[in-house]
Structure 1
Amino acid sequence: MKKIIIAAVAFGVLFISTATLSGCKDKKEGSQDSITGKVVNIDKGAEREDKNLTDTFASGGHTFGIAIHRYSDTAGKEYKDEYGDAFFDNIVDIRATRDGEELFSKNFTKSSFRSHIDADTASYILQGIGFDKAKSDANNLTFGVQLGDPGSEEGKFFLLLTIAPTGEIDIRKDSAPDTTADDGGIELKQQKATEPADEPDEQI
C-alpha cells in the first residue's frame, strides 16, 4: 500500500472561537485548537501554529529533497462549520530539490485548484498536501491534495498534483486516495488534548 505523508491532516486548520469574534456569547472557559488539540483561552484568541515536513526520495540515480510548510491563511476568507465556529484556510508551500539544487518552489492555496472546484466543493478548505512516494519517480514528483469541510477530520475531495523537473504542474482528480495508516501512512484522526503529539517524520 502506498505511503502518503500528509503535510496537514484533515483537521489541520486554525480554529477561531466565535465567542472571541463576537464577544457576546457565553461559552466555556477555553476552546480546542483543531491543529494541536490544545485548549486555547478565549481571552487570548486563537493561536496560529505552523507545521513543517522534510523528506528525501531517491530515483533515477538522483536524490530529491521535499520540504512542505503548512500555515494558516489569516489574511484570507474565513469558513464556518455546521456549528458556526470559524476557521482559517491553509497555505501550503512546497520546495523540491534534486541533488541539492532547487527544482521547484511555490505556495499553494485553495484558489490554486479553482479549475477543479465547483459549487459542490466551494465551501471546502485546503486541508493539506502530502508527498506520494508510490506515485513519484525521477520525472515526476506527485503530491496528494486534500480538501474538506472546515473543522472536520474527513477529507471530501482529493486531487493529484504532479510536478515535473522543469517546473511544469499537472493537476487532476484522485479517484482512489489512500489515507490509511495500516502500513505507515497517515491515519486522519482528531488530536485530543490528552494525546501526545505525533512524531514530525510521521505527521505534521
Structure 2
Amino acid sequence: MNKEKRYKILSLFSEKNPNPKTELIFSSDFELLLSVMLSAKSTDLIVNKTTKILFQIANTPESILLLGVEGLKNYIKHIGLYNMKALNIINTSFLIITKHKGKIPKNRNELESFPGVGRKTANIILNILFKKKTIAVDTHVFRVSNRTNFAKGKNVKEVEKKLNKVVPSIFKLKIHFWFVLHGRYICTARKFKCNICLVYKFCEFKEKKFNIFL
C-alpha cells in the first residue's frame, strides 16, 4: 500500500471519529493499568463488568494489596488467566507503592518491569495517560494492518515497527483506537462487514466483497 492510500484511510477515520477512546471504563491511572492488565485474552466487555464490582471494593494499590491474591481472585475469576493475573496485579501494586510512590511511571522500562505488563500494555498506558505517540498492536490492530495491506508483518513486533514507520505523526496518537474499533466491529476475524466499511475503497484485501453482509 502506498502512502497516499494510507493517508486517505487515516483521514477517513479521523473525520468519522476524531476523538477515539478505549472502551475500558476507568476513573484513575491505576484503574486503567489494572483494566489493561485484565484485558489480555479477555474482552473489554467482560473486563468492564468485572471492574465495575472490583473497583467499588478496591481501586488503589493499597486496597488491592489488602485483598490479597485469593481475595482478588474472587472478583476476577470470570476473566481468562485470572490466577496469574491476580498474582501479577498484587505484585505490581506492591511495586507501585514501594518504588513509585503510588504513581504510574511514565517510563516504558519501568512499566515493563511490572509483572504482567508487556510492550502492548505499556504502549497503551503511555498513549492514554501520557499522550505518547506509541502504537499498541493487539489482535485487532494486527489483523486490520495485515488484511488491508496497510502494514504487513508476521508478528506484532513487525507490525508495530512498520506502523511507526508509515503512519504520519499527526495520526500516531489515535491509530491504535481506530484500528481496534474497526477490527472489533467491522473488519472482524470471520464475518468482515465490507458493505459498511468506511475504507473499503482503499483496502487491498483480495477477498473483500461489498455485499458480503446486508
Question: Where on the TM-score scale, by shorter chain, does this alignment land: which range?
Answer: under 0.3
Greater RCO (CA < 8 Å, at least 6 residues apart): 1
Normalising to structure 2: TM-score of the pair?
0.27
Structure with higher Rg: it is 2
Normalising to structure 1: TM-score of the pair?
0.28
- Is the strand fraction higher in 1 or 2? 1
